[in-house]
């Protein structure tokens, strides 16, 4: 039962931070609406939450966005505390997650291979 609660808290944190980003409530200029929270890993004692952030834009934008989110972690945690109604709101640590960018790159390579195959060229991708 405890593991289910931890997963639920993680999903709720992911949802709430995503809304804060999309609605532009995080005023740090480094945080843009193209950032996406891919997953949240919460410690068993709810003391820490590792938040993984991804973007389909360049890696530089992702690193800058993660730095902006880490800078605004106190504000984000305060917003979560007001919305989640749990005794202890986890402290937030933000990490880069290149999964969305890697996914776009993989789709692009597959499309290039299909185009080469369609044209009868060798696959030197």
Spacing of C-alpha 15 from chain mean position: 10
Owning domain of residue 65? 2-98
Could you tell me if residue 120 is inside a domain?
no
Identify whether the C-beta of residue 49 lies closer than 8 Å to the C-beta of residue 41: yes
Could you tell me if residue 123 is inside a domain?
no
High-pLDDT (> 90) share of the chain, % = 59
Could you tell me if residue 107 is inside a domain?
no
pTM of the model: 0.79
Could you tell me if residue 91 is inside a domain?
yes
Q: Round to whole Å and give the CA distance between 79 and 41.
A: 18
Q: How many domains does the chain have?
A: 1
Convert the pLDDT of each residue in 13-23 to its tens digit.
999 999 999 99
39: domain CATH number is: 3.30.300.20
Residue 28: name the closest of 90, 77, 70, 88 by CA: 70
91 pLDDT tier (thresholds 50, 70, 90): very high
Strand 91-96 relative to strand 48-55: parallel, antiparallel, unpaired?
parallel
């Amino acid at each position: 039962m405890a593991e289910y609660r931890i997963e639920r808290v993680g999903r709720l944190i992911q949802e709430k931070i995503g809304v804060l980003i999309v609605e532009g409530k995080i005023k740090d200029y480094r945080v843009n609406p193209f950032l996406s929270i891919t997953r949240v890993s919460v410690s068993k004692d709810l003391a820490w939450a590792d938040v993984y952030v991804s973007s389909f834009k360049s890696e530089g934008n992702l690193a800058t966005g993660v730095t902006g989110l880490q800078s605004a972690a106190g504000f984000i945690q305060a917003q979560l505390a007001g919305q989640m109604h749990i005794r202890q709101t986890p402290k937030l640590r933000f990490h880069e997650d290149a999964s969305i960018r890697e996914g776009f790159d993989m789709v692009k390579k597959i499309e290039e291979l299909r185009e080469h195959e369609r044209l009868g060229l060798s696959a030197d991708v």
